[in-house]
Amino acid sequence: EYTVNKIAAGEVVERPSSVVKELIENSIDANSSKITIEIQDGGKNFIRITDNGHGIPSEEVEKSFLRHATSKISKIDDLYSLNSLGFRGEALASIASVSKIDLITKTNNERIGTKICLEGGNIINKEPIGSSVGTTIIVKDLFFNTPARKKFLKSSTAETISITDMINKLAIGNYSIQFKYINNNKIMLTTPGDNSLQNAIRSIYGKNIANNLIPISINSEHLNITGFIGNNSIYRNNKTLQHVYVNKRYVKSKLILNAIYEAYKGIIPINKHAICFLNLEINPKKIDVNIHPTKLEIKFEDEQYIFNLIKNEINKSLLNSTL
Ligand code: ADP
Ligand code: MG
């Protein structure tokens, strides 16, 4: 019952960027090697995600919109050991209940694909349709039936910024997947998906950042950390270029960011923020289960150990690089 409450506490659909996040994670879970995201007007009226993943068999299409019908795990403790990002089986159901959806999907084993249309969670049409293998989902008119929530949406510009940030973080965390992002018919981003984190960073954040990175490889008993940190020339006024992933899942961890801040002390100006792209591979048993699934927060069992390790090792790498 503890687990169930923890899961239920996570409201999936807050704003367009949370829809985009859930849909991209489904595409990742479906083993896609290419994901295209298209939005209009901050995603408030139009979001389309196209992937080349394994698709949904026709007879299971309705079921994927049922709450908890598809949950991939039964215990939240499995969360960080899972290979899949989805685990609550409620994203599609939640999104469908507050929008109008068209989904087209086809698996490798099917000759013909399936199209299903829903409004406010109700199926209004299902028919066979020609399609390539994979899934396309269109989410229209978000919150059309919940005006109170619609009112809380920010400007198209603000919602677009939030979506762009979400896509950047997911594209960095899944750099072997090719991401394409189109905003109001304009291509904003194409990542190579060539298995190089540095190439993904270059395509998203540009040459100046990609060419001023220090590789990081920290190995300790319960924890491996890999990725890149910025050298002393590319710091920022804010924390938007701080990317921390735990077992490939993007997280917000004050502990880790504070450790990084300490590591850069005396190396970059005070009150400036380092740039980092770090993935922590950690034994799931060393992560506290007291996490919030949508807010991306995480707690570690041995915080002092992790803090010191990151602070000291990153500081060492920084000092070595300036020798
Ligand atoms: P969860 O990801 O937690 O299982 P979701 O509500 O996000 O729950 O998705 C429900 C189910 O729909 C998934 O488990 C998967 O079987 C199917 N599904 C959703 N999106 C896709 C996709 N892009 N490709 C293949 N299957 C998908
Ligand atoms: Mg999911």
- Report pLDDT for 283: 79
Report the nearest-CA residue for atom 4 of ligand 1. Answer: 89
Q: What's the CATH number for 212-321?
A: 3.30.230.10
What gap in Å lies between CA 239 and CA 94, rounded to an integer?
Answer: 31
The 10s digit of each residue's pLDDT in 10-46 is 367 889 999 999 999 999 999 999 999 999 999 999 9
Closest atom of ligand 1 to 90 CA is 6
Ligand 1 test: best mutation among 24, 92, 133, most atoms within 8 Å of CB?
92
Closest atom of ligand 1 to 60 CA is 16
Helices (H), the chain: 2-8, 16-29, 91-97, 147-151, 156-173, 197-205, 207-210, 254-263, 303-321
Q: What element of type H or E holds 104?
A: strand 100-106
Ligand 1 test: best mutation among 64, 67, 83, 177, most atoms within 8 Å of CB?
64
* Domain residue ranges of the chain, discontinuous segments joined by +: 2-190, 212-321
What gap in Å lies between CA 323 and CA 320, rounded to an integer?
Answer: 5
Asked whether this complex has an ipTM greater than 0.95, the answer is: yes
The residues facing 54 across adjacent strands are none
Q: If you average pLDDT over residues 159-174, what whole number do you get? A: 96
Top-level CATH class of 2-190? Answer: alpha beta
Q: If you average pLDDT over residues 204-221, what whole number do you get? A: 96
* Prediction pTM value: 0.89
Query: Phi and psi dihedrals of 314, rounded to 5?
Result: -70, -40
The dihedral built from the CA positions of residue 110, 111, 114 and 115, taken in this order, carries a sign that is positive
The 10s digit of each residue's pLDDT in 84-99 is 555 567 889 999 999 9
Tokens of 240: 């938007």
In short, whether 52's Cβ falls inside 6 Å of ligand 1 is no
Output the CA 301–ligand 1 centroid distance in Å.
31
Listed residue (162, 306, 49, 1) closest to 314, CA to CA: 306
- Report pLDDT for 252: 84
